[in-house]
């Protein structure tokens, strides 16, 4: 099956975002399991995933219990 470079690039970015979201979910779940504060979880998301505070907050809101 032939994919043009735009389609290939788009699919790659979707896959990368999915991987990032999966890692974020794991960090958040573990943080809650070990009773970290939300501030500590946000800091860990920023450091481990190299994302902005805004993106870290979006992940936290998406995956919080």
Domain limits, the chain: 21-63
State the DSSP code for 35.
T
Mean pLDDT, the chain, whole residue set: 91
Asked whether residue 1 carries a pLDDT value surpassing 60, the answer given is no
pLDDT for position 11? 84
- The answer to whether the CB of 41 falls within 8 A of the CB of 59 is no
Compute the Cα dihedral for 33, 44, 58, 7 and give only its sign.
negative
Asked whether residue 2 carries a pLDDT value surpassing 70, the answer given is no
* pLDDT tens digits, one per residue of 9-34: 888 888 888 999 999 999 999 999 99
Angle at 64 between CA 36 and CA 22, to 5 degrees: 95
């Amino acid at each position: 099956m032939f994919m043009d470079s735009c389609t290939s690039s788009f699919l790659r970015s979707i896959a990368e975002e999915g991987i990032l979201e999966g890692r974020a979910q794991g960090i958040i779940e573990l943080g809650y399991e070990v009773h970290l504060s939300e501030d500590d979880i946000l800091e860990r998301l920023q450091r481990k995933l190299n994302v902005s505070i805004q993106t870290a907050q979006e992940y936290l809101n998406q995956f919080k219990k």
